[in-house]
Structure 1
Amino acid sequence: MPPVNASREPMTLPRLTEDPVSPLSPGTHTITVRHGLSRIEQRYHVAGTGPVCIAHPGGPGIGWEYLRMPQLERSLTMVYIEPVGTGASGFLADPRAYTVTTYAHFLRAVIEHLALPDVVLLGHSHGGFVAQRYALDQPERVEALVLYDTSPVTGEEFWSAAVANLERFVQRHVDERPEVARYVAALTTRLDQLTDEGATAVLRTIMPAYVCDYWGREEEFGPARRSLRMYAAPTRGDGQPFDVRDELSAVAAPTLVLVGSDDFICGPHWARMIHQGIPEAQLTVLDETGHLAHLERPEEFRSVMTGFLALEREDAH
């Protein structure tokens, strides 16, 4: 169930309004994408200035807002994908079609609409699955790749490890915070059987496990927890495990693998697997950080990101 959707309200970011003048003008944009026999609306949001970085959020079913990165908008033009099945983007007629391949198809449509020869692509958590798939299928279109708190594989081993990590989290905190006794049951809830409100309630329950030291920073993270939003339809997609381990050596783009040391669900074990699979990938582990480094340690996150991209631009010239 990666990741949680942390609200941007506490940071009082400027609202992005509809602005269809240019594909990269600041604001919210909507394009229409053919999917099978249907035409589906796909929204994306633009903020910031500088080289273009396209960011795909996690989930599936998480609203894009949690991935807003004002610290990167100071030096990059951030293009945030609002995945189909969430927010005001269109919904698929067949819920089983919410797959990594489908999300990569819509990502490709946005990139083609932007008419850029190549892009910097950032994928967070489940969005990292999409980014890996796109980078493997369209290697000539990716200038640099950032795989942030993600994994090259899911399935039984992945989820068993997440549950075991969460059980350890519960053991550490249950004496002081009895409510965490519910967290494992929440993580293993069948979200595909819930409404949007039910799925959102699950995320609000478990959110403290996704960040390091939630209760020490509750004044900061509490509003984010209360503003979580999740859409249930994408959780009904074809549940085939994701696995690109045997393909990673074909990733051609310079790659940054970025992970929080205390991320219980997409932690260092999986990051190292990606790092070992992609030739010359760079691995950065942020200490005392969970699944949301851009919220937990924004300036450190920015420093790692911009340092990596600046080096890549120097190498390119």
Structure 2
Amino acid sequence: MDQRYHVAGTGPVCLVHPGGPGIGWEYLRMPELERSMTMVYLEPVGTGASGRLADPRDYNLSTYTHFLHAVIEHLALPHIMLLGHSHGGFVAQRYALDHPDRVASLILYDTSPVTGDDFWRTAVANLEHFARHHVSEHPEVAGYVAGLTSRPDRFDDEGATAVLRTITPAYFHDYWGREDDFAPGRQALRMYAAPSWGEGPAFDVREELSALTAPTLVLVGDDDFICGPHWARMIHEAVPGSQLAVLRRTGHLGHIESSEEFTTAVVEFLSSVSGDTA
């Protein structure tokens, strides 16, 4: 089984796990951090050029943490900086709990310690609010909730990609105000359907987070409709000594929408825990 990853930049190594599950890794490129760090972007199984599982039901947290560990072993680094975005943050939390000796520092970016009914009810309510706010100028947003809640087994890769691209504006605080900046990335997004068909126990590490020992930064956009400040504060309050950075006027993609503030937050955190300037 091939597990691909992509390396960019020079300096201390930071391993990056993208979200989804099933979104192509390219959206998570962080050029500003690449100027002073070696960013290793994982291309999760089921996406891009990485291998495909024979049974789509096996795309679950255990599978992703297994392949994350395989890459860390392959890199032969005794300790790593680990950044997980959204669903990748679920993987990063699980990995840091299971392998505390391998994680030197942890960045949990726009993620949550739990999913389930309350998580999804909140996301749908936030998206409904977004649609009401924008529907008069952008009538297409009326279909965003249906896109978010569509059964994933209804789509192939092209259909899943179309849905993701359609609802992309909701992942920004002000997509249409900066559409010239964001539209090319929107059209480059790729979604792979099979990872959404995975089966496994519900994600909930709330009772375990107090055991995290790695220095941790919890980073969130204040207008993230799906993994917003409520969930970030839940992590921050549970993880001993963690730092919380809230990016103002920012949605789910702060490394794009507020890149300077995002980069500053990461660099200052890493400097505070290592004594080095990243």
Percent identity of equivalent pairs: 71
Give the secondary-structure state (helix, strand or coil) at the position aligned to 1:53: strand
Structure 1 residue 121 corresponds to structure 2 residue 74? no
User: Once the 2 structures are TM-superposed, how far is the Cα of residue 311 of structure 1 from its aligned partner?
Assistant: 1.0
Moved beyond 3 Å, runs of 4+? none
The reply on whether 1:183 has 2:141 as its aligned counterpart is: no
Q: TM-score, normalised by structure 1?
A: 0.86
State the alpha-carbon separation in 2 of the partners of residues 47 and 180 from structure 1: 36
1:269 aligned residue: 230
Distance 1:75 1:223 in 2: 26
Q: How do residues 99-118 of structure 1 correspond to structure 2 at under 5 angstroms?
A: 99-118=60-79
Q: Distance in 1 between matches of 2:189 and 2:4?
A: 20
Which residue identity does 2:182 align to in structure 1? F
- 1:246 corresponds to: 207
Confirm or deny that 1:205 pairs with 2:173.
Answer: no
Corresponding residue to 1:50 among 4, 8, 11: 11
**Structure 2 segments unaligned to the other structure (5+ residues):** none
1:215 aligned residue (163, 176, 185): 176
Q: How does 1:126-205 map to 2 (within 5 A)?
A: 126-205=87-166
Mapping 1:3-22, distance limit 5 Å: none
Give the secondary-structure state (helix, strand or coil) at the position aligned to 1:176.
Answer: coil
* 1:195 maps to amino acid: D
Correspondences of 1:81-100 after superposition (within 5 Å) = 81-100=42-61
The residue identity in structure 1 corresponding to 2:22 is G
Secondary structure at 1:204 match in 2: helix
In 1, Cα distance between the equivalents of 2:268 and 2:34?
Answer: 15
Confirm or deny: 8 A CA contact 2:61 2:200 kept in the other structure.
Answer: no
The CA distance in 2 between the partners of 1:79 and 1:223, in whole Å, is 23
Provide the residue aligned with 1:301 in structure 2.
262
CA distance in 1, matches of 2:74, 2:212: 23
Aligned to 1:30: none
Q: In structure 2, what residue type is equivalent to 1:260?
A: G
Question: Could you list the runs of 5+ residues in structure 1 that have no partner in the other structure?
Answer: 1-39
| Residues in 1 aligned to 2:185 and 2:40: alpha-carbon distance in whole angstroms | 22
* Structure-2 separation of matches of 1:157 and 1:112: 36
Q: Whole-Å Cα distance in 1 between the matches of residues 238 and 61 of structure 2?
A: 20
Shift of 1:193: 2.2
- Paired positions, count: 276
Tell me which amino acid in the other structure corresponds to 1:172: H
Distance, in Å, in 2 between the alignment partners of 1:181 and 1:283 is 33
C-alpha deviation, 1:191, in angstroms: 1.5
Q: Is 2:20 the counterpart of 1:59?
A: yes
